[in-house]
């Protein structure tokens, strides 16, 4: 899916965890501590790779079904209350943006683009991260997996964001970092720019990512945005001549 086909660009939709901020270490720390207390995996600590494979981008409901397939829901709910409290504590001590995020947000705001955060994270979690990043006033709305019957990898959260913004998928770009996020954005009919390192790049391209970048300072991103603006300008000039 060519990224310049969205010209003229109308809206940008951002996932939060791993897309706007480096949050995985704080999630991992919280999960690890609680799972060790429970004796999960025979007391062997989970690895970051385990987290990326089985947890990254997923909702608490999805993670809970994976971790505790035979456990009562009340106990699962209690586990995630404790986990989110720990995450909030650790994130408050050191959550940082993906390099260049502020610059990209300023670029979007200057052009009057519609803006939404779309995440599988619980709302309190999403609000916390956006607040720490100083972007509470940037986003016009936040859509969480809890707001939809189906969370990512289904397209429902992205389709809801488009509907609430009054934006077209034909003129919107998604920013993501996980395979299920890419799948959701593509299923909703939009090109997806994905934050990832070299180890995950091929996998993300395989599931449909339009462009894989290291961070928001990546020259590939700005070349793509320039291409969108150039195409929109050329189209406007042609229409003006007609």
Residues forming the active site: 15, 17
Block residue for tokens 């990254």: 56
Burial (Cβ within 10 Å: 0-12, 13-18, ≥19) of residue 193: buried
Phi, psi of 23 (to 5 degrees): -110, -20
Phi, psi of 213 (to 5 degrees): -125, 160
Q: If you compute the radius of gyration of the chain from its CA atoms, what whole number of angstroms results? A: 19
Block residue for tokens 């990326």: 52
Q: How far is CA 231 from CA 100, 103, 106, 220, in A?
A: 24, 22, 21, 17
């Amino acid at each position: 899916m060519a990224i310049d086909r969205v010209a003229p660009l109308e809206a940008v939709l951002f996932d939060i965890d791993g897309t706007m901020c480096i949050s995985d270490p704080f999630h991992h720390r919280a999960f690890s501590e609680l799972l060790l207390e429970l004796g999960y995996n025979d007391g062997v600590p989970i690895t970051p790779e385990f987290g990326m494979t089985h947890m990254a981008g997923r909702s608490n409901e999805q993670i809970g079904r994976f971790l505790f397939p035979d456990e009562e829901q009340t106990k699962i709910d209690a586990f995630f209350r404790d986990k989110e409290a720990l995450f909030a504590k650790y994130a408050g001590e050191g959550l940082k943006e993906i390099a260049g995020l502020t610059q990209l947000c300023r670029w979007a705001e200057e052009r009057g683009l519609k803006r939404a955060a779309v995440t599988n994270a619980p709302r309190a979690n999403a609000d916390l991260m956006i607040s720490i990043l100083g972007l509470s006033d940037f986003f016009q709305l936040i859509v969480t997996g809890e707001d939809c019957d189906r969370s990512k990898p289904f397209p429902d959260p992205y389709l809801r964001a488009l509907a609430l913004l009054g934006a077209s998928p034909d003129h919107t770009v998604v920013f993501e970092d996980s395979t299920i996020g890419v799948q959701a954005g593509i299923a909703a009919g939009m090109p997806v720019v994905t934050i990832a390192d070299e180890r995950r790049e091929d996998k993300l391209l395989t599931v449909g990512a339009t462009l894989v970048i290291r961070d928001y300072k990546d020259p590939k991103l700005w070349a793509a945005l320039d291409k969108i603006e150039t195409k929109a300008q050329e189209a406007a000039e042609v229409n003006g001549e007609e």
